[in-house]
Amino acid sequence: MMKIKLMPLLASVVTVGVLAVPFVANASTINHEQMLLAQRGERQTQGNTRKNRGPWAKLNLSETQKQQMRELHKETREKVQGVFTDEQKAKLKAAREQGRQGQNRLSRKDVMASLNLTEDQKAKLKLIRQEQKVKMDGILSDDQKAQLEQMRSSRKQGWQQRNSR
């Protein structure tokens, strides 16, 4: 049960780390947190339902698409886990626990830097993200892809504005 709760955060950390790599920063990748929202679907958290909330709700995914996205997320997460060494997995777990407890919370960029990924690992993670994007494009309709790209652009502009302050 604990592993299931730890995996979404790990997947988010991995995504941000992959995006931090300069050549990957320019690639059009999916925000892993959005994938997590799709995966969680209708689960309840603190009395509030996640149904019809978050960026995925705006795409109006069908139940079939939601299931396909969940499966894609699970597949991607497993592949990403296979890239890390046991030591790197332990560092991610420790960082996640620190964040949960509110102790010296590190930025995702700092966490990924602490993993000291090899060039081979970076390349493998980039390839996994590219495969994920291709598969996701096969799940979404043209309208949904356009809407997702618009949401990504808006999010990127928000990041740039926050970072320029």
Evaluate if residue 117 carries a pLDDT over 60.
yes
**Higher pLDDT residue, 111 or 135?**
135
Looking at residues 113-118, what average pLDDT do you find?
91
Looking at residues 49-54, what average pLDDT do you find?
52
DSSP for 92-157, written as a single string: HHHHHHHHHHTSSPPPHHHHHHHT---HHHHHHHHHHHHHHHHHHHHHS-HHHHHHHHHHHHHHHH
Contact between residue 36 and residue 11 where contact means Cβ atoms under 8 Å apart: yes
Looking at residues 11-22, what average pLDDT do you find?
49
Looking at residues 111-138, what average pLDDT do you find?
93
pLDDT band for 12, please (50, 70, 90 cuts).
low
| pLDDT winner (highest mean) among 4-8, 81-85, 93-97, 146-150 | 81-85
Looking at residues 131-142, what average pLDDT do you find?
94
Contact between residue 134 and residue 33 where contact means Cβ atoms under 8 Å apart: no
Query: Taking the CB of residue 86, how many other CB atoms lie within 10 A of it?
Result: 7
Evaluate if residue 137 carries a pLDDT over 80.
yes
